[in-house]
């Protein structure tokens, strides 16, 4: 596997071509942003932790029948993934009210829902990732009705697997964001990352936040929270 030219540098990762036209290499950075890039910083060691955690979660999900882009971890920060065309939707599942949900609907954080919710944002930095519904996504030709159905089913399945798994680690899975992609033959698979950058994770006993909200809200001990999640996942 040879790493070829960089295709893209995002806020948290770089994406490289490889000598296999169906595979990319993602390289996780320590850079952190919040509020559509208004707040910037670095979280020392985050790239390494997010790489290991994402790969850990993707392998767990594969075992439970969810197809993902994961192929092989190359180094601390680099992973080989299947090349996909990303469906430009941020798919957010929530089990408990927090963040933009609490703000938008004027409710406290921490309300446990009777059933999980799903919402979509249009992945478009210039527009600030606006909230959209299925019909808007279809009107904008971001995905077909069938693809949206597949994505919803997969997202709820991911939630069931992750919720049960985090429970065994004494962690409450509050909410998270997923991205899906299409392979050349049109199959929808789970892509991007699953990490403390993209999930809200609360300690089950104390409610302590073990995720990017520590950075967003200047709560301190940001690095320690990421390390604590990794420790619970891998014992390291
Ligand atoms: P952002 O683009 O939001 O700043 P990142 O810094 O995480 O995000 O950049 C990674 C980019 O790679 C994202 O745009 C993501 O959608 C894309 N991506 C993730 N997995 C794959 C994949 N398997 N194939 C192609 N692109 C991917
Ligand atoms: N999220 C994400 N990327 C985004 C927006 C949200 O990974 O661009 C994750 C976020 O970490 C949280 C969940 O999606 O776990 C729900 O986020 P919310 O809509 O509450 O937004 P925020 O609080 O980030 O404004």
Which ligand is closest in space to the CA of residue 214? 2
Which ligand is closest in space to the CA of residue 178? 2
Residue span of the structural domain in which 41 resides: 3-82
Q: Which atom of ligand 2 is nearest to the CA of 199?
A: 15
- Cα angle 148, 149, 154 (rounded to 5 degrees) comes to 95
**Pocket flag, ligand 2, residue 97 (CB < 6 Å):** no
**168 and 148: one domain?**
yes
Tens place of pLDDT per residue across the chain (236 aa): 899 999 999 999 999 999 999 999 999 999 999 998 999 999 999 999 999 999 999 999 999 999 999 999 999 999 999 999 999 999 999 999 999 999 999 999 999 999 999 999 999 999 999 999 999 999 999 999 999 999 999 999 999 999 999 999 999 999 999 999 999 999 999 999 999 999 999 999 999 999 999 999 999 999 999 999 999 999 98
> Rounded to an integer, what distance in angstroms lies between the CA atom of residue 127 and that of residue 122?
8
Give the end of a domain, one of 40, 60, 82: 82
Total number of domains in the chain: 2
Q: Which of 154, 184, 60 is nearest to 70 (CA)?
A: 60
pLDDT value, residue 145: 98
Rounded to the nearest angstrom, the distance between the alpha carbon of 106 and the centre of ligand 1 is 32
Q: What residues does 211 pair with on adjacent strands?
A: none
**120 and 205: one domain?**
yes
Sign of CA dihedral 163, 166, 167, 172: negative
**10 and 41: one domain?**
yes
Q: For ligand 1, atom 17, name the residue with the nearest CA.
A: 192
Q: For all residues of the chain together, what is the average pLDDT?
A: 98
Give the end of a domain, one of 52, 82, 112: 82
pLDDT value, residue 221: 98
Q: pTM, whole model, 2 decimals?
A: 0.98
Q: Which atom of ligand 2 is nearest to the CA of 175?
A: 15
Give the end of a domain, one of 25, 50, 82: 82
7 secondary structure, DSSP code: E
> Strand 3-9's sheet: what is its strand order?
3-9, 13-18, 23-28, 78-82, 70-73
Report the CATH number that the domain containing residue 23 is assigned in CATH: 3.30.200.20
pLDDT value, residue 236: 85
Q: Which of 192, 213, 216 is nearest to 201 (CA)?
A: 213
**197 and 150: one domain?**
yes
**Pocket flag, ligand 1, residue 179 (CB < 6 Å):** yes
Task: Summarize pLDDT for 100-119 with one digit per residue, the tens.
Answer: 999 999 999 999 999 999 99
Q: What residues does 13 pair with on adjacent strands?
A: 28
**76 and 109: one domain?**
no
**Pocket flag, ligand 1, residue 32 (CB < 6 Å):** no
């Amino acid at each position: 596997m040879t790493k070829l030219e960089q295709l893209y540098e995002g806020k948290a990762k770089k994406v490289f071509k490889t000598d296999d036209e169906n595979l990319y290499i993602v390289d996780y950075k320590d850079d952190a942003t919040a509020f559509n890039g208004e707040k910037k910083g670095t979280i020392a060691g985050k790239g390494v932790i997010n790489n290991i955690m994402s790969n850990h979660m993707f392998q767990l999900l594969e075992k439970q029948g969810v197809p993902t882009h994961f192929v092989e971890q190359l180094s601390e920060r680099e992973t080989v993934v299947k090349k996909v065309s990303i469906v430009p939707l941020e798919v957010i599942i929530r089990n408990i009210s927090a963040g933009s949900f609490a703000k938008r609907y004027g409710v406290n954080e921490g309300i446990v829902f009777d059933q999980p919710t799903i919402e979509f944002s249009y992945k478009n930095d210039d527009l600030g990732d606006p909230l959209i519904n299925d019909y808007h996504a279809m009107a904008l030709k971001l995905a077909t009705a069938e693809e949206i159905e597949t994505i919803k089913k997969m997202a709820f399945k991911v939630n069931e697997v992750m919720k049960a798994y985090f429970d065994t680690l004494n962690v409450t899975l509050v909410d998270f964001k997923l991205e899906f992609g299409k392979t050349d033959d049109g199959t929808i698979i789970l892509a991007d990352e699953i990490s403390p950058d993209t999930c809200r994770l609360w300690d089950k006993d104390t409610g302590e936040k073990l995720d990017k909200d520590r950075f967003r809200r200047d709560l301190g001990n940001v690095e320690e929270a990421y390390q604590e999640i990794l420790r619970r996942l891998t014992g390291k």
